[in-house]
Structures are given as C-alpha cells and as structure tokens.
C-alpha cells in the first residue's frame, strides 16, 4: 500500500459569499451552508480509516475540520486533528479584504496577470519601514513543497486528510504533479470539494491524481463554472469496462466490446449526466466508447453522435491481447519502462506516445475551436467526448500543460467523467477529474485497474 492523501477545501465562508479576497485574513467564518457542507464531507469520508488529520490555522478551515472530524469519530476511531501552519492560504497582502470587483477595477493589470500569468504576479508591501516585493504564487508553491517534504516521509503507507484553502490546495496539487507556478489557475478547488492523491512509493516521484474536485457529495454532480471560464464546457468520459480491462489484458486498438458491467457503468454515467445540458457529442468509433456514448445519449435524443477516428486508443502493436506477464516474458524490461518513461517507449508494430499525442491533441483542439466559434454569446455550450484511457490522459496532460512524461499522473477509471471548462480566449481549467462516485457511491475509484 502506498500513501494516500485526501485534500479538502474549507466550506463556504462569509467572505466567499461577499466575493471578497480572504488570503491570510482570519475574519471570515463558515456560513450555515458551509457548516452543512463540511458535515457532508465527513459523511462522504466516513468509510476511510485515517492515520493523520491536518488543518490550516485559519478559522474557516478549522471549523470545516471540526465538522468533518465530528462525523469521522462517530464512524470509527480517528486521530485528533493537528494544525499545520504551511496549510495557510496564499497571501495576497494588497488585496485582502477587498471585493474582487474592487480589485479588478483598481488593479486591472495585476488582476489580469493573476488569471493569465499568476507566476509573474508581484506586490510591493510595507514591512516595517522597508518596502518588500512579494510573489504570492511562487511563495505558496514553496510552502506546498515544504508540506510534501515534511509530510510524505512521516506518513509512508498511510492515509492522511488535509483541510486547506483554494490557493494552497492548488499549489499542493501542482507541486505533487510536477506542475510549475504558471499552471496555478489550471486546477479548480470548489468549497468542500474532495480531491485524492496517491503516492504508490511514498514519494512525489510516483504521484498520481486519482480524483479532482469531487462535489457529488454536496448534491452537485459536477462543479459550477469558475468566473471567467464560462465560454465552453467539455465532459470527458472514459468507456465502460471490458472483459480485457477486468483481466488486465492489453487491448489497444483491438475492438473489444463492453462487458455487462461496462454496460451498467454506461447506464450509471447516463443517469449521472442526465440533468446536465448537452449540445454535442463526439466519440472514438471503437465499440467500447461508442456504446458508452450511446447509452449516455439515450437521455439526450436530440444529440447526434459524431465519430472521430483520431480518438482511437493507442495501438499497442504486438502487446495487444497479452497479459503483463506475457509481455514481460517477450519484451523484458519494456513494461517497466512503459510505466516509468512512457514517452520513450515505441510499441512494437504499434504507436509511440508522441504519435497518440499528436493525433489526439489535434482532434481535441479542433473540437474546442469549433465549439467556441459557434457558441451563443449568451450561453455556455456543453459537449461530451468519449474515448479511452491513453487518449484521455493525453487530453488531461495537454489541458494542464504537462508533458507526455506526466502521462501516468492522471487516473482514468472505466465510466469516469472529467470536466474541462474554457475561457472565451480558449484558456482551459480542469474543473473536475475522474469522477466515479456515480458508479459505486464512494469517493475512491473502484473500477478495474485494467490495461490500456
């Protein structure tokens, strides 16, 4: 067993409601809704055994942790929460206490930089008689790196809960995934969301994002759009389970159909997405994603499914149809290289990751640009793309600006849903990732580990 970290943002606060910058200020408290949502987080986490619980020193996070702990301690013995100073929110000293609308009006250049080049944002602040220059985003990334440096060696092979804030949580996620401060705005953190990080060998080198920004425990299937990212929403879905997924057999471009559980997962995804508007849908033409898409579209009969062969799964060549042990016997060491250096592996008689990357990104960018060009300025169109493990991971890497070397940092379960929103200029934000709560009710991905 590796190390698992559950990351939660505090509940709705009075400053959140007022749309006021909080930062290090400790004046805002949870609203009634924030308290109720924190209790719901506790209920959602009740089945997990935690070895340690850590919380920001600020009141809004402390209140959230207390409500979560009340629920956890009712279910099974749970350690008492500890305060961790480095979980404090990002400091924005010149803006704290101001309304965001005031910040936008009074600091238009800095506000635009905050959204488009956050790593370059700097503020001149008085420190006694001196004036100092601070880079808030760079500072919170150093803070997050220190959290991992302290935490991971102390909690090897354990499960840990961290309750923090939007800014520090994003920095924790980015530093775990090896993303630089310029990617700070790429990952969303809603109030009382749940994100899951795995560290199989207990170090940052093995980090995997299992789930991002889950909100279904709050009766919100997918998070609401962030301000400024309401031009387009794409739902990215992985196909349901096949027998080869269950067996751990590499399928690649073998056209293996869904098994009965895979069809059930497709119907569960359909029920989960039933209440969301859909304006268009695109799928890989292979049987397993196509049927998954058709099951979902049963609740959206007005939508015609478009097929795009550039979204087909990676070709594993002569690996296809084989189990891992058979691949290791025929190609010693190559499977381990695929797990650790995927961008360097050429599948025998198949594709390499760069080839998959090129065709997938070309298809994805075309879908995005066409949707943005055709959108009604008064509405946010929503599209659905249904594809495969490798294809979806490439899209996720591309979305957050990660290289192909980060391919394994993102988990994609059978029947999972991810959400990517776009600003009018095409800038993306990963709103939620690998939602599988509709499949088994829990926050952890219980789908078949399965080969690609």
Q: Which residues are annotated as a binding site for substrate?
A: 238-245, 288
Tell me, yes or no, if 438 is annotated catalytic.
Answer: no
Tell me, yes or no, if 329 is annotated catalytic.
Answer: no
Indicate the annotated binding residues.
Answer: 238-245, 288
Tell me the C-alpha distance between 360 and 378, whole Å.
Answer: 30
How many helices and strands, by DSSP H and E, does the chain display? 15, 14
**C-alpha closest to that of 212 among 401, 64, 417, 408:** 417
**C-alpha closest to that of 314 among 398, 253, 405, 249:** 253
Tell me the C-alpha distance between 266 and 416, whole Å.
Answer: 9
- Look at residue 115 and give its three-state secondary structure: helix
- What residues have CB less than 8 Å from 67, skipping those under 6 apart? 11, 35, 38, 39, 41, 42
Task: Check 12, 89, 210, 313 and give the catalytic one.
Answer: 313
Residue 87 in contact with residue 56, Cβ under 8 Å? Answer: yes
Task: Check 239, 316, 388, 398 and give the catalytic one.
Answer: 239
DSSP 8-state assignment for residue 192:
T
The CA–CA distances, whole Å, from 80 to 50, 59, 65, 150, 270 equal 10, 17, 10, 19, 40
**C-alpha closest to that of 408 among 357, 344, 339:** 339
Tell me the C-alpha distance between 136 and 155, whole Å.
Answer: 28
Strand pairing of 208-214 and 194-199? antiparallel
**C-alpha closest to that of 35 among 2, 12, 6:** 12
Residue 423 in contact with residue 359, Cβ under 8 Å? Answer: no
DSSP 8-state assignment for residue 218:
G
Active site residues: 239, 313
């Amino acid at each position: 067993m590796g190390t698992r970290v559950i990351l939660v943002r505090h509940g709705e606060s009075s400053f959140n409601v007022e749309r006021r910058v909080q930062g290090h200020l400790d004046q805002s408290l949870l609203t009634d809704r924030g308290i109720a949502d924190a209790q719901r987080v506790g209920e959602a986490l009740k089945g997990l055994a935690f070895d340690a619980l850590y919380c920001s020193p600020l009141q809004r996070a402390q209140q959230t942790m207390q409500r979560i702990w009340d629920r956890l301690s009712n279910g099974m013995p749970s350690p008492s929460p500890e305060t961790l100073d480095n979980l404090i929110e990002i400091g924005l000293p010149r803006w704290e206490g101001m309304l965001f609308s005031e910040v936008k009006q009074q600091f238009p250049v800095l506000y635009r930089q905050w959204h488009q080049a956050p790593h370059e944002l700097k503020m001149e602040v008085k420190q006694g008689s001196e004036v100092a220059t601070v880079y808030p985003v760079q500072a919170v990334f150093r803070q997050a790196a220190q959290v991992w440096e302290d935490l991971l060696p102390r909690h090897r092979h354990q499960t840990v809960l961290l309750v923090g804030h939007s800014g520090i949580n994003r920095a924790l996620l980015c530093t775990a995934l090896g993303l630089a401060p310029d990617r700070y705005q790429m990952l969303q953190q809603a109030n009382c969301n749940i994100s899951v990080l795995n560290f199989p060998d207990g170090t940052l080198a093995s980090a995997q994002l299992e789930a991002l920004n889950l909100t279904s425990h709050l009766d919100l299937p997918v998070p609401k759009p962030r301000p400024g990212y309401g031009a387009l929403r794409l739902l990215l879905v992985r196909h349901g389970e096949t027998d080869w997924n269950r067996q751990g057999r590499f399928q690649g471009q073998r056209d293996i159909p869904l098994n009965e559980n895979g069809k059930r997962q497709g119907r569960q995804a359909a029920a989960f997405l039933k209440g969301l508007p859909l304006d268009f849908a695109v799928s890989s033409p292979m049987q397993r994603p196509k049927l998954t898409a058709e099951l979902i579209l049963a609740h959206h009969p007005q939508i015609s499914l478009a097929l795009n062969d550039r979204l087909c799964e990676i070709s594993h060549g002569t690996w296809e149809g084989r189990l891992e042990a058979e691949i290791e016997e025929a190609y010693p060491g190559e499977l381990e290289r695929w797990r650790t250096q995927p961008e360097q592996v050429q599948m025998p008689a198949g594709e390499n990751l760069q080839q998959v990357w090129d065709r997938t990104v070309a298809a994805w960018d075309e879908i995005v640009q066409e949707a943005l060009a055709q959108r009604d300025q008064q509405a946010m169109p929503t599209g659905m793309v249904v594809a495969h493990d490798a294809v979806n991971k490439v899209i996720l890497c591309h979305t957050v600006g990660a290289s192909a070397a980060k391919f394994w940092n993102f988990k994609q379960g059978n029947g999972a849903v991810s959400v990517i929103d776009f600003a009018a200029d095409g800038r993306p934000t990963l709103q939620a990732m690998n939602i599988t709560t509709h499949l088994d009710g829990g926050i952890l991905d219980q789908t078949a580990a399965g080969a690609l």
